């Protein structure tokens, strides 16, 4: 068992558990409320976290950090993590996103359902509870219906240096506010004509406490509740109640919500006073969001990339979405490893893209079978090899795992080699093929270059060589040939021609949107190249999502969308070494 990584979130949870914070918690609740709105089966003594995405886009690598954190804490402390859709905003949400988010979280290796509990929730299921608590707040004098216009409200809100002014409707009797709230709910008032506001303090130094709106009128159809409601709760009001309703213990969110925490606590305290929730109440804890260099982690920006066709969809392998990373060849294990390595902190910072890439290499190195691919093919003719014949060469399936056995592939008179492995005039220190020089064909014979052919444009179209029949790798005496170069190859008549896609970073700048720059201006137009490669024949049987190390080139995956039976298309997930110079 690996020691659990330590961080401030874990310390928080451990301290709470050590003092038995949840041991005494039961379900209480106002009469009727519990039965209507709570899952009676939920064990209130457990640590409960939640992952609460809004279903308005695809998950990205930043969300993965939150998923790993929340599900990881629950797993490590005998708790549960709730999969909750924060779908209180009627206009932007769609079933397509719900499905893709569930799929992505499951793919990452986390489950919200076990033998005792099914912790899949939709905040929209709580609309009734939110409303019931709103009526309580009004009756208890903690909320009022404000008829000011949006402009008036903005003007009276004050600024960071100036206190706000009370609304003329602030002190209307609760019964009057209650009647208006019910009329709002019943659709008797137009959008924008009034809002329900919390009654807190217009002079608070925290702007979020200056009587924030908690309900607004929207005649919008919701993707799950249809036209049941024409008033919708504000996020800052709904979120703490969602946590309360689910008996969440630690509500982990990103730093920008730090200023919202006093209102989060205010809502829960008032609801607890009203008998809706039992103590201890959920606690909000903030952590720094993930920023990754050379990409953007904002759903809105990713959506813009898709809509403006700067990428080929949400699952484009250049995208930092989980569907994109998956298609690119990332494994769930590599993403979890990455999230463990970056840890959590309280200070915003940037993580280098190289850290993500290294996690993938470290995950795939011990398990990806090896294969040969020539990405930029140039013909090599071994003139003294018998025409029309071939013989088998053998290589380990994995260099450090003999238990995986050997693979074999033919050598013949005509081979494909990498164009960059030949030089007409060798630069200094070049040990590969050039006229007169000898190299070893990896797992095959030593050959000596005898010449080359060019086409009318002066481009080299074939290289000629002769082989030494007693130099075959693995045969006695083969190592009396001392050569410095060792190149990979595939037999031309046996090779599988295939499309291979190579990727570069999506943006040319480490911080694409630094200083308010339009991130789209720094998009890398060369982030995707396609080559016709010549591959080892055995790769014809690659199934979608099968991953390999192509020797010298990196880790590749058979594209899960474009591969066909016997005709795989490969994506390079990551090169063997960090070639970005960072």
Q: What positions carry a catalytic annotation?
A: 54, 289, 299
Q: How far is the CB of 75 from ligand ATP (least distance, A)?
A: 18
Q: Which is nearer to ligand ATP, 255 or 478 (CB)?
A: 255
Determine, following the binding rule CB under 6 A, whether residue 65 of this chain makes contact with ligand ATP. Answer: yes
245/277 Cα distance (integer angstroms): 8
Q: How far is the CB of 285 from ligand ATP (least distance, A)?
A: 11
Determine, following the binding rule CB under 6 A, whether residue 299 of this chain makes contact with ligand ATP. Answer: yes
The verdict on whether residue 65 carries a ligand-binding annotation is: yes
Determine, following the binding rule CB under 6 A, whether residue 341 of this chain makes contact with ligand ATP. Answer: no
Contacts of 278 (CB under 8 A, 6+ apart): 25, 26, 27, 28, 29, 44, 272
The verdict on whether residue 56 carries a ligand-binding annotation is: yes
The verdict on whether residue 189 carries a ligand-binding annotation is: no
What is the dihedral sign for C-alpha 575, 577, 580, 582? Answer: positive
180/187 Cα distance (integer angstroms): 11
DSSP notation for 561-582: TT-BTTB--EEEEE-SS--S--
The verdict on whether residue 519 carries a ligand-binding annotation is: no
Piece in contact with ligand ATP (CB under 6 A), picked from 293-301, 336-344, 410-418, 431-439 = 293-301
Q: How far is the CB of 90 from ligand ATP (least distance, A)?
A: 16
Q: How far is the CB of 249 from ligand ATP (least distance, A)?
A: 15
Residue from 10, 12, 170, 289 in contact with ligand ATP (CB under 6 A): 289
Contact 145, 171 (CB under 8 A): no
Residue from 29, 53, 72, 320 in contact with ligand ATP (CB under 6 A): 53
Neighbouring C-beta atoms of residue 289, cutoff 10 Å: 17
Buried b (16+ CB within 10 A) or exposed e, 547-560: bbbbbbbbbbbbbb
Q: How far is the CB of 5 from ligand ATP (least distance, A)?
A: 17
The verdict on whether residue 64 carries a ligand-binding annotation is: yes
The CA-atom distances, in angstroms, between 189 and each of 147, 180, 228, 230 are 11, 9, 16, 10
163/172 Cα distance (integer angstroms): 21
Q: How far is the CB of 427 from ligand ATP (least distance, A)?
A: 45
Binding mask 438-467 toward ligand ATP (x if CB under 6 A, else -) reads: ------------------------------
Q: Which is nearer to ligand ATP, 53 or 332 (CB)?
A: 53
The verdict on whether residue 55 carries a ligand-binding annotation is: yes
Beta strands at 120-122 and 80-85: parallel, antiparallel or unpaired: parallel
Determine, following the binding rule CB under 6 A, whether residue 66 of this chain makes contact with ligand ATP. Answer: yes
Residue labelled with tokens 């003719």: 381
Q: Which is nearer to ligand ATP, 326 or 488 (CB)?
A: 326
Contact 479, 445 (CB under 8 A): no
Residue labelled with tokens 């003294």: 384
Binding mask 247-276 toward ligand ATP (x if CB under 6 A, else -) reads: ------xx----------------------
Piece in contact with ligand ATP (CB under 6 A), picked from 60-68, 489-497, 562-570, 572-580 = 60-68
291/314 Cα distance (integer angstroms): 19
Q: Which is nearer to ligand ATP, 297 or 534 (CB)?
A: 297
The verdict on whether residue 34 carries a ligand-binding annotation is: no
Q: How far is the CB of 251 from ligand ATP (least distance, A)?
A: 9
Q: Which is nearer to ligand ATP, 22 or 51 (CB)?
A: 51
Q: Which is nearer to ligand ATP, 54 or 499 (CB)?
A: 54
Determine, following the binding rule CB under 6 A, whether residue 49 of this chain makes contact with ligand ATP. Answer: no
The verdict on whether residue 60 carries a ligand-binding annotation is: yes
Determine, following the binding rule CB under 6 A, whether residue 520 of this chain makes contact with ligand ATP. Answer: no
Determine, following the binding rule CB under 6 A, whether residue 182 of this chain makes contact with ligand ATP. Answer: no
Determine, following the binding rule CB under 6 A, whether residue 298 of this chain makes contact with ligand ATP. Answer: yes
Q: How many residues at the interface with ligand ATP, by CB under 6 A?
A: 15
Determine, following the binding rule CB under 6 A, whether residue 54 of this chain makes contact with ligand ATP. Answer: yes
Determine, following the binding rule CB under 6 A, whether residue 52 of this chain makes contact with ligand ATP. Answer: yes
The verdict on whether residue 476 carries a ligand-binding annotation is: no
The CA-atom distances, in angstroms, between 46 and each of 14, 35, 51, 242, 286 are 12, 20, 16, 17, 21
Structure token digits, residue 158: 């004050």
Residue ranges of the alpha helices (H) in 246-309?
Answer: 261-273, 299-307
102/93 Cα distance (integer angstroms): 14
82/122 Cα distance (integer angstroms): 10
Piece in contact with ligand ATP (CB under 6 A), picked from 135-143, 271-279, 297-305, 565-573 = 297-305
244/271 Cα distance (integer angstroms): 9
Q: How far is the CB of 335 from ligand ATP (least distance, A)?
A: 13
Piece in contact with ligand ATP (CB under 6 A), picked from 63-71, 223-231, 381-389, 531-539 = 63-71
292/399 Cα distance (integer angstroms): 33
Reported for 506-514, long-range contacts at CB under 8 A and 24+ positions apart, including other chains, are 506/294, 506/295, 506/311, 506/318, 506/319, 506/320, 507/294, 507/295, 507/296, 509/294, 510/293, 510/294, 510/350, 510/582, 511/293, 511/350, 512/294, 512/295, 512/296, 513/296, 513/301
Output the known binding site for ATP: 54-56, 60-66, 254, 289-290
Which positions lie near ligand ATP, rule CB under 6 A? 52-54, 62-63, 65-66, 253-254, 289-290, 297-300
Output the known binding site: 54-56, 60-66, 86, 235, 254, 289-290
Output the known binding site for L-glutamine: 86, 235
């Amino acid at each position: 068992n690996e020691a659990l990584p330590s961080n401030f979130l874990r310390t928080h949870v451990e301290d709470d558990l050590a003092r038995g914070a949840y041991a005494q918690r039961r379900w209480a609740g106002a009469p009727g409320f519990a039965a209507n709105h709570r899952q009676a089966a939920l064990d209130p003594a457990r640590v409960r976290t939640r992952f609460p995405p809004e279903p308005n886009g695809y998950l990205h690598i930043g969300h993965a950090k939150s998923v790993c954190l929340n599900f990881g804490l629950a797993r490590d402390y005998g708790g549960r993590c709730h999969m909750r859709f924060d779908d209180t905003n009627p206009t932007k949400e769609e079933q397509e996103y719900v499905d893709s988010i569930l799929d992505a979280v499951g793919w990452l290796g986390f489950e919200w359902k076990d033998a005792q509990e099914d912790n899949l929730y939709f905040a929209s299921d709580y609309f009734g509870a939110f409303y019931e608590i709103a009526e309580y707040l009004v009756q208890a004098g903690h909320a009022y219906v404000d008829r000011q216009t949006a402009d008036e409200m903005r003007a009276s809100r004050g600024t960071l240096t100036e206190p706000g002014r009370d609304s003329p409707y602030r002190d209307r009797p609760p019964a009057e506010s209650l009647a208006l709230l019910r009329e709002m709910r019943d659709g008797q008032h137009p959008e924008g004509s009034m809002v329900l506001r919390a009654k807190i303090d217009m002079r608070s130094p925290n702007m979020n406490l200056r009587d924030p709106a908690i309900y607004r009128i929207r005649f919008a159809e919701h993707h799950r509740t249809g036209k049941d409601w024409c008033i919708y709760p504000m996020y800052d009001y709904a979120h703490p109640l969602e946590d309360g309703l689910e008996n969440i213990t630690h509500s982990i969110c990103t730093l920008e919500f730090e200023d919202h925490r006093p209102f989060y606590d205010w809502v829960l305290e008032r609801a607890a006073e009203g008998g809706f929730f039992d103590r201890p109440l959920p606690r909000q804890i903030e952590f720094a969001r993930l920023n990754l260099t050379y990409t953007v982690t904002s759903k809105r920006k990713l959506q813009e990339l898709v809509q403006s066709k700067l990428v080929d969809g949400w699952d484009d392998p250049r995208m930092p979405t989980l569907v994109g990373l998956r298609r690119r060849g990332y494994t769930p294990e590599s993403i979890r490893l990455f999230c463990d390595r970056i840890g959590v902190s309280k200070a915003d910072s940037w993580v280098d893209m190289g850290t993500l890439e290294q996690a993938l290499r470290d995950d795939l190195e011990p398990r990806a079978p090896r294969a040969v691919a020539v990405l930029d093919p140039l013909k090599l003719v071994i003139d003294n090899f018998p025409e029309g014949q071939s013989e088998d060469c053998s290589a380990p399936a994995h260099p450090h795992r003999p238990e995986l056995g050997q693979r074999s592939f033919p050598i013949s008179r005509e081979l494909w080699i990498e164009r960059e492995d030949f030089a007409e005039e060798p630069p200094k220190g070049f040990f590969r093929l050039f006229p007169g020089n000898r190299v070893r064909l990896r797992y095959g014979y030593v050959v000596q270059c005898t010449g080359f052919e060019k086409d009318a444009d002066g481009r080299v179209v074939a290289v000629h060589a002769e082989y030494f029949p007693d130099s075959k790798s693995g045969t006695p005496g083969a190592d009396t040939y001392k050569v410095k170069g060792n190149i990979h190859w595939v037999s031309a008549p046996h090779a599988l021609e295939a499309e291979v896609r190579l990727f570069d970073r999506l943006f040319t700048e480490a911080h694409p949107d630094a200083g308010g720059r339009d991130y789209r201006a720094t998009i890398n137009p060369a982030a995707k190249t396609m080559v016709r490669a010549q591959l080892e024949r055995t790769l014809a049987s690659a199934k979608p999502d099968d991953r390999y190390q192509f020797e010298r080139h990196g880790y590749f995956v058979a594209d899960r969308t474009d591969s066909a039976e016997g005709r795989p298309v490969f994506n390079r997930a990551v090169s063997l070494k960090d070639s970005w110079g960072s």
